[in-house]
Every structure is written in structure tokens, then in C-alpha cells.
Amino acid sequence: MNRAAQAAAVSLVTSLSLCAVAASAATPADVAPHEDKARTGQAQAQGQAGQKIVIPISIFSDAQLGGYWTMRMASGLQGKGAAVTILLFTNGVRLADNRAEDDFGLEGETVPISKSFADFTGAGGKIFVESDYAKKIGLNEEFLRAGSHFADDAQMCDMILGADKVLSF
């Protein structure tokens, strides 16, 4: 990826992250002036629990650092009570291919992708793989990592529209 494309990607991710933070921030009308900080924090935590969050992943590289970090964040959000769905599309589909390398993460801190997927889905997370791109790379049910499911464009659109938040890292 050239520098201009990298800068555009960083700008997009920053914009999306700021939009997600702004959309979730409480306004003065949401918090009565007489409430103390403990009650305010409790109300915010209750508002976060149960949120439907969709995280699209479109990256796959030899190091797979972006996918690794995104899975860590998805698991963290899930641990805070959010219902998290991961959508794998374009090159991100390769994360669900059990023929691909299974190491995930930084040097000295690797986790098998298969374990990351199993832990995430075992705790209630959902992983969907865009079916058209999967077909293009020869990914079928036989090679699909456990816990992953195929979805077409219409199904993915419905998941995005049904989400409280769509995050991109």
C-alpha cells in the first residue's frame, strides 16, 4: 500500500472511530445535574451492555496484526456485555480459511486464529464470511474455520443496518 493510500486509510479509521465515540457520548440532557458520578457511570455502563456491534474486517496479511488486534477488541467489547458480530469480506475472508497460516499476532505474543475464533464464538460472538469472495478463493464449508458462517451481501447489509454501532479499526 502506498503512502497516500495508508494516509487515507488512517484518516477513514480515525473519522469512523471519532464518529462512534461521538454517537455514544452522553449529552447534558441525558445526565441530571444532581446525579453523582457513580450513578452516571452506572447508567453509562448499563447503556453499553447489550449493544449490537458489528465489526467488518477486510484485511489479511502475513503478520495479520490488524485482524489480531480487531479480534482482541471484539472480545473485549463482548466481555463488557456487547453482542458482537464480525463480518469478514474481501481479503479478511482469508482469516476464516483453515488452509491459511494459523498464527495470529505479534512476535512472542501469538495466538492461533482457530483458538481466537473458538474463544470468541464460544462466548457468544458471531463471525460471518462474505460468500462471493470466499468462492473466488475456493473457500467452502470444508475449509471454513469452526465458528464461521457464510453470508451473502443482503444478509451482511441487514446485520449492519440492525447494529447499534459499526466499528472499523
pLDDT at 117: 87
CA distances from 61 to 64, 72, 115 (A): 5, 17, 18
CA distances from 10 to 5, 63, 65, 156, 168 (A): 9, 18, 15, 24, 11
pTM of the prediction? 0.68
- Domain 44-166: give its CATH architecture: 3-Layer(aba) Sandwich (3.40)
The arithmetic mean of pLDDT across residues 79-98, rounded, is 92
The arithmetic mean of pLDDT across residues 27-56, rounded, is 56
pLDDT at 39: 41
Shortest CA distance to 105 belongs to which of 146, 129, 71? 71
Task: Please report which helix (H) or strand (E) contains residue 20, including its range.
Answer: helix 3-24
For the chain, domain boundaries: 44-166
pLDDT at 54: 96
pLDDT in tens, 92-143: 898 899 888 777 666 677 778 888 888 899 999 999 999 999 999 999 999 9
Confidence check: pLDDT of 163 > 70: yes
pLDDT in tens, 5-32: 343 333 333 333 333 333 343 333 433 4
What mean pLDDT is reported for the chain? 74
* Confidence band for 160, pLDDT divided at 50, 70 and 90: very high
